[in-house]
Chains A and B, each alone.
Chain A
Amino acid sequence: MGLPLVESALQWNSGILNANRDPKNDDVEFQITRLYSRFHSLDKGENGALSREDFQRIPELAINPLGDRIINAFFPEGEDQVNFRGFMRTLAHFRPVEDNEKSKGHDASEPLNSRNNKLLFAFRLYDLDRDDKISRDELLQVLRMMVGVNISDEQLGSIADRTIQEADTNGDMSISFSEFIKVLEKVDVEQKMSIRFLH
């Protein structure tokens, strides 16, 4: 059933595996096993990788206005297939931030589910061309995806202009990542961009 893959994923996901069995690791192992089952059931072609069609087969995702952008987040530049590692990597952004992880010192590499990385995930939903700026056009595109046909172009344009005006501090008529972080500093990102397992 691909258990060696699960074992390696377990090691990757929780850093160094404890020698004595930490009950928390049992939880993580369970979660990874369940996610692997899920990956496997979505993989209709049974080739160990998911394509965009595999994601679009999920009805709740297909009716999500931002469905296509979310699916895009799984596929690295120019690729059409995502393997289990990539799948877990993207999902890892939505791991809840544990209390003991918050108090960790300055790590060499920030965990994927840090506040910063969660915000980066959301930023990248807007910033399609990855130039680290949300331009007016990119903002309009996302707005149009979310509201459909229900709002006129002019009204949408003025909403976009207002948003950029509120966020832009260096006057370049676009929103950089640091400006993005500043605007959202009061939002409870850790809570709102996390998925909790029941066990």
Chain B
Amino acid sequence: MEDAWGAARSAAQVWLSLVVGLIMLPAMFGVSLGITETYMKVLIKTLKWATFRIQKGRRERETLKPSPSNGIIQRDDGSMEKEIGELRRSRPKRPDGGDFTLSDVFYFSRKGLESIVEDEVTQRFSSEELVSWNLLTRTNNNFHYVSLRLTVLWGLGVVIRYCILAPLRITLAAIGISWLVIGTTVVGLLPSSRVKNWLSELVHLMCYRICARGLSATVHYHNKQNRPRKGGICVANHTSPIDVVILANDGCYAMVGQVHGGLMGVIQRSMVKSCPHIWFERSEMKDRHLVTQRLRDHVNDKTKLPILIFPEGTCINNTSVMMFKKGSFEIGGTIYPVAIKYDPQFGDAFWNSAKYNMVSYLLRMMTSWAIVCNVWYLPAMTQMEGEDAVQFANRVKSAIARQGGLVDLSWDGGLKRDKVKNTFKELEQKKYSSMVVGDDSSD
């Protein structure tokens, strides 16, 4: 009994010192020992081989089906005028151009059926489907049994991910979070000074680096010269809470968010001791004026860190960028757009909050192969003359979508939970009415 206990303790000690020495310390100082690189190389080779085997195993089909997010049905993007005009082709034109025919319903019924088969919005709120299986059970939708070797590889993958990688990552995450809380509290005890700011930035960076290792995150940052500066606002597309860790790995930001209870609350309270973040009470969030004022005060103080905001307001599945809420664009600071694109081959980073809560989501992250993503810093943008907040928001959104290779949608991310506003239907009705009535000016 004594021996077993002693053996367990020494094993834990060895484990901990390995973790600290090989992973945590280099991470804290931004140095890489090359372990992750080797792991990624092996992983890429293995997945390539697996893809090859699956392709060989497919009956008759040589070509891989393209990604479903490219669309499965042919959609005529003709306008209402063009389509209904074609339907009415066989009738003589009336002098005022307006008409009603029984066949007008064809246009609406086809559009309706098309949207039932496939629509632009609902697919953005669930994980992207992969073209080829990446040996994770969770992404196995349409892939059938192919070969024994592949199954063995998958089994090996399960063992490695759950028994080796997951405990490692959980340990790192625990160390990272506790260090964040302790470190920021300690720094918070110092009087306000340049030293305090520098130390606070250091502590934040180190902790986020440890957390990033805790997710096996491999991030490629592009265009670092455009990195957000003090007194600015950083906006990015939102896929998951991990976005914060990814961005904070490379720079220090002031976070904006709601006050939470529990562990999140503890983290929030200690973070704000060392440098100013903006946490809102739930009741304050409803008062838009108050929110804008607080953000504006923060931005106008040029010594404070840039704010990090996700204008979509909710997590989207990283295939598209949805409507940016105009609130962040009314504050008046310089906007630094950032595009984040995850590589779904190694792990799906999207948080489907309807399906998984935060803890199970984090566990899923820690049992994926890795989180690989690209971060592009885009040049700063400011509101132009004669441009209102909505147009400015759309301009920034298009720039981010273009850089990240994402689809640019005007639909509101809030449609995840809410019904669509009736005004859009009324717009369609108005458009159709003008086709029925024509341009008769004698009214």
Residues of A within 8 A of B (CB): 1, 21, 23, 26, 30-31, 33-35, 37-38, 41-42, 55-67, 70, 91, 94, 121-122, 125-126, 142-143, 146-151, 155, 159, 163, 167, 175, 180, 183-184, 186-187, 189, 192-199
Contacts and interface: CB of A to CB of B under 8 A. Distances in A.
Contacts of A149: 426, 429
B389 interface: no
A195 B73 contact: yes
B432 A65 contact: yes
A64 B122 contact: no
Contacts of A192: 86-87, 103, 106-107, 110
Say what secondary structure dominates the interface of chain B.
Answer: helix
A186 B424 CA distance: 33
Contacts of A62: 419-420, 425
25 contacts: A1-B141, A26-B61, A31-B72, A33-B142, A34-B68, A58-B119, A59-B119, A60-B119, A60-B120, A61-B112, A61-B115, A64-B115, A64-B425, A65-B108, A65-B432, A70-B113, A122-B105, A122-B109, A146-B104, A146-B436, A147-B429, A180-B102, A184-B102, A192-B86, A192-B107
A70 B425 contact: no
Given A26-B61, A70-B109, A195-B113, 11 more contacts: A33-B142, A59-B424, A63-B427, A64-B111, A64-B115, A192-B110, A193-B106, A195-B73, A196-B74, A197-B73, A199-B65
A21 B110 contact: no
B100 interface: yes
Contact of A63 (B74, B141, B428): B428
Contacts of A60: 111, 115, 119-121
User: Of residues A30, A58, A94, A125, which shows the largest number of chain B Cβ atoms within 10 Å of its Cβ?
Assistant: A58
A193 to B, nearest CB: 6
A172 to B, nearest CB: 17
Contacts of B171: none
Given A37-B141, A58-B121, A148 B103 contact: no
Nearest to A118: B106
Interface residues of B, number: 54
A35 B90 CA distance: 34
A83 to B, nearest CB: 15
Given A59-B121, A63-B428, A163-B100, A146 B420 contact: no
A186 B90 contact: yes
B39 to A, nearest CB: 32
Contacts of A147: 429, 432-433, 436
Nearest to B421: A63
A195 B116 CA distance: 11
User: Of residues A38, A125, A159, which shows the largest number of chain B Cβ atoms within 10 Å of its Cβ?
Assistant: A38
B109 A125 contact: yes
Contacts of A121: 109
Kindly list the 3 A-B residue pairs having the minimum CB-CB distance in the complex, ordered from nearest. A148-B429, A186-B90, A150-B433
B363 to A, nearest CB: 22
Given A34-B68, A146-B432, A66 B109 contact: yes
